[in-house]
Chain A
Amino acid sequence: MTAAEKNKSAADAAKFAEIESQRTYLVRFAMAKLRDAEVAEDVVQEALLAALEGIGGFAGQSSLRTWLTSILKFKIIDWQRRAVTERAHFASAPEEDDSADPEWMDRLFDGTGHWSPRLAEWSHPDAALSQQQFFAVFERCMDRLPKAAARVFFQREVMGEETEQICKAEGITPSNCWVMLHRARLALRECLDRHWFQGGRETAGTPGDTP
């Protein structure tokens, strides 16, 4: 092997490791669209293989995650087209009963509907955005959400889709969608508050049993 070839294979290995490090995120992304963990893993695998083949096309203008996500989006659409015959899968009913507020929501407010306890200020939230550990807490907080709520939140806030589009894909009404989003936001706020902003930094590895 020449020195040039050695350098090239070292560079390839580095690229491979970098791409591989995005797998968890991509599986989450695919799960928000496809619901089925096994299908999501498969589609991500296809996308990663395509990415490795096409790594030369990555110009570095966007982040690696953004580039991989764009490849994954095509793979998801491909899969959805192939699965069009399995309509039942997409038409499945919402997984939760939305008629009443869950019990944990009532615990956030007192009898007169005021915050209980009152909300504390988050100090330097922007500084948290430069800490990988904070994103790990965010991921674990998302994992604690009910599945449907997690999907809807991911599509709305991470993918930036409009609620109308999300409701259609989920087969739910807009007001259902808002209820789910609101609950997801309340739960995530609580979780980040508890496990990061209110002194949870040292024990950030173990979000507790509150959603």
Chain B
Amino acid sequence: MNDQQTPPAGRGATPLASCKEAARLMSRQQDTPLSDAESESLKQHLYTCLSCRRFDDQLLFLRKLARRYAEGGAD
């Protein structure tokens, strides 16, 4: 049940304080590249947060779903 793990030591960027902010970045990443700092912070957050890794996967799936829908839906 516990999503939190020990963050990796010795990395430069500040990890994001909240999943809410991480979710915003993950979504924006689908539309435009993030800055290096944003990207690094997000990476660190994802390392420690299972829910956000799931959200990232689900965003990718949502895109796949929408593209499949454009082609006609179910096989």
Give A contacts to B, CB under 8 Å: 22, 25, 63-66, 69, 108-109, 112-115, 118-122, 125, 129-132, 134-135, 138, 153, 156-160, 163, 174, 177-178, 181-182, 185-186, 188-189, 192-193
Contacts and interface: CB of A to CB of B under 8 A. Distances in A.
A27 to B, nearest CB: 14
Contacts of B21: 113
A174 to B, nearest CB: 8
Contacts of B27: 178, 181-182, 185-186
Given A115-B55, A121-B54, A158-B67, 18 more contacts: A22-B72, A65-B70, A65-B73, A113-B18, A114-B20, A114-B51, A119-B55, A134-B74, A135-B73, A138-B65, A158-B70, A178-B31, A182-B24, A185-B27, A185-B30, A186-B27, A189-B59, A193-B58
Interface of B: 1, 3, 17-21, 23-24, 27-28, 30-32, 50-52, 54-55, 57-59, 61-75
B71 A65 contact: yes
B42 to A, nearest CB: 14
Nearest to B63: A157
B18 A112 contact: yes
Contacts, number: 108
Contacts of A158: 66-67, 69-70
Q: Is the interface of A mostly helix, strand, loop or mixed?
A: helix
A153 B59 CA distance: 12
A109 B71 contact: no
Contact of B51 (A63, A65, A119, A129): A119
B54 A120 contact: yes
25 contacts: A22-B72, A64-B72, A108-B20, A109-B19, A113-B17, A115-B52, A118-B50, A118-B51, A119-B54, A119-B55, A121-B54, A125-B58, A125-B61, A129-B65, A129-B74, A132-B73, A135-B73, A138-B69, A157-B62, A158-B69, A158-B70, A159-B70, A160-B67, A174-B32, A189-B62
Contacts of B30: 181, 185
A153 B52 CA distance: 21
Given A112-B18, A129-B65, A178-B31, A122 B70 contact: no
B29 to A, nearest CB: 10
A118 B4 CA distance: 11
A153 B27 CA distance: 12
